[in-house]
Amino acid sequence: MIYQIIWVLALLVVGYIIGTYLERKHYRSILKREEALRSLPVVASKYLPEDGVSYQQTLVMGNVTISVDYFKRFLATLHNFFGGRVTSYESLLDRARREAMLRMKSQAASQQASLVLNVKYETASIYKGSGSNIGSVEVLAYGTALIPKST
């Protein structure tokens, strides 16, 4: 019994320290790459710009699967009991969406696209149906990249 409590506490401490470190590292990397890709506009509109340029179009997508750490899952369980904002999952989803968007943008940028149209998000929780907590989510971002024709 006492060993079980020690084990859970150890997992909480390890999850908190490493999880916080990894999350900060991830946010730093997200901010850096967002700055680098800022010049590529991403729009949710379906209509092409009427600028007289002829474009070639291709489907681009980016996906990512991210999990929360043990400590945050513990916090979320508490939130489930008391209600209120589940901040630990908010940051998980925020990270996943921004990361998926960045991967899509970098795929578009590598093909010299000038614009990405009709961007859609698709979210799936992988552990759904297994009876355990949500824990990890997969986010897919996809859209149509417009590449100016070099004629």
Partner 1 sequence: MLISNLEIIPDRKVVKHLGLVQGSSVRAKHVGRDIMASLKNILGGELVGYTELLSESREEAMDRLKAQAESIGANAILNVRFSTSSVAQGAAEIYVYGTAVVLE
Residues engaged in binding partner 1 (CB under 8 A): 11, 14-15, 18-19, 22-23, 26, 46, 48, 54-55, 57-59, 61, 63-70, 72-73, 99, 117-118, 120, 122-130, 135-136, 138, 140, 142-144
Nearer residue to partner 1 within complex by CB, 83 or 148 = 148
Structure tokens at 9: 């506490």
Taking the complex as a whole, how short is the minimal distance between the CB of residue 71 and partner 1, in angstroms?
Answer: 8
Query: What CA–CA distance (Å, rounded) separates 102 from 116?
Result: 12
In DSSP notation, 27-39 reads HHHHHHHHHHTTT
Nearest residue (CB) to partner 1, 24 versus 36: 24
Lookup: tokens for 134:
């949500």
**CB neighbours (10 Å) of residue 94?**
12
Helix or strand or coil: residue 122? strand
Residue 95 CB: number of other CB atoms within 10 A?
19
| Nearest to partner 1 of 40, 138 (CB atom) | 138
CB of 61 to partner 1, least distance (A): 7
Cβ of residue 18: shortest distance to partner 1, in angstroms? Answer: 5
Residue 91 CB, nearest approach to partner 1 (Å): 10
Selection from 69, 129, 121, 79 nearest residue 100 by Cα: 121
Query: Nearer to partner 1 by C-beta: 83 or 150?
Result: 150
